[in-house]
């Protein structure tokens, strides 16, 4: 199984590709939109929304074509956030708008960024990403949260209040946490994505 991992200079590619290889998949790092093809597509991400928006924009039409062909798409961390329309982090830069909503700074009295292991609460039990998953601790690193304006929140986590931890809309999936850094539970979630 060939998994296209988009390299738009914002992702932790090594961790993601290592996890995919461990699960028996064949990750292919894609640096040019014209070469974006595979059984599934992953958009990893670490960094700022504005730069991610600018770097990922050339891939936009190819991503849409893939979605129209029912190819599953997974966004990780910043990769999830870029699926929304815009972000307070960089108001002049637009997301891919695969889901309605914005990205906002987490409103909490707790320290930001949220770094470390936090409990995952599954909201949509029928989400294929969480098949056989009851919840547990996964690894987060972020200061901004996705605030969708559609019923797409598949899981949440508690950080002073409930915030979005995962989204799901048709064949578009996103995790605010890093499954590739979340041990056995993270690998189980990635395996579910590979088995879609």
Distance of alpha carbon 151 from alpha carbon 69, whole angstroms = 23
Q: What is the DSSP string of 77-134?
A: THHHHTTSSEETTSTTSB---SSSEEEEE---SS-SSEEEEEEEEES-TT-GGGTT--
Catalytic member of 89, 127, 178, 188: 178
Using a 10 angstrom Cβ sphere, with 0-12 exposed, 13-18 middle and 19 or more buried, the burial of residue 34 is: exposed
Known catalytic membership, residue 142: no
> What token pair was written down for 11?
């992702």
Q: Kindly state the DSSP code that residue 27 receives in the 8-state scheme.
A: E
189: number of Cβ within 10 Å? 26
Q: Could you tell me the CA-to-CA distances from 1 to 11, 28, 33, 172 in Å, in that order?
A: 21, 10, 20, 18
Set 86, 89, 145, 180: catalytic member: 180
65: annotated active-site residue: no
Active-site residue, from 77, 89, 142, 188:
77
> What positions carry a catalytic annotation?
77, 178, 180
């Amino acid at each position: 199984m060939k998994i296209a991992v988009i390299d738009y200079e914002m992702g932790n590619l090594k961790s993601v590709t290592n996890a995919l290889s461990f699960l028996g998949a064949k990750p292919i790092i894609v640096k040019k939109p014209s070469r974006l093809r595979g059984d599934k597509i992953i958009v990893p991400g670490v960094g700022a929304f504005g730069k991610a928006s600018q770097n990922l924009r050339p891939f936009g039409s190819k991503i849409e074509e893939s979605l129209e062909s029912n190819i599953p798409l997974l966004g990780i961390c910043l990769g999830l956030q870029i699926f929304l329309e815009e972000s307070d982090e960089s108001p002049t830069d637009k997301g891919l708008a695969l889901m309605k909503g914005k990205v906002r700074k987490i409103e909490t009295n707790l320290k930001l960024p949220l770094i470390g292991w936090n409990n995952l609460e599954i909201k949509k039990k029928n989400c294929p990403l969480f098949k056989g998953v009851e919840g547990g601790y996964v690894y987060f690193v972020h200061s901004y949260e996705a605030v969708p304006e559609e019923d797409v929140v598949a899981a949440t986590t508690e950080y002073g209040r409930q915030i979005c931890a995962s989204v799901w809309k048709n064949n578009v999936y996103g995790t605010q946490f890093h499954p590739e850094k979340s041990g056995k539970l993270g690998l189980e979630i990635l395996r579910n994505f590979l088995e879609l």
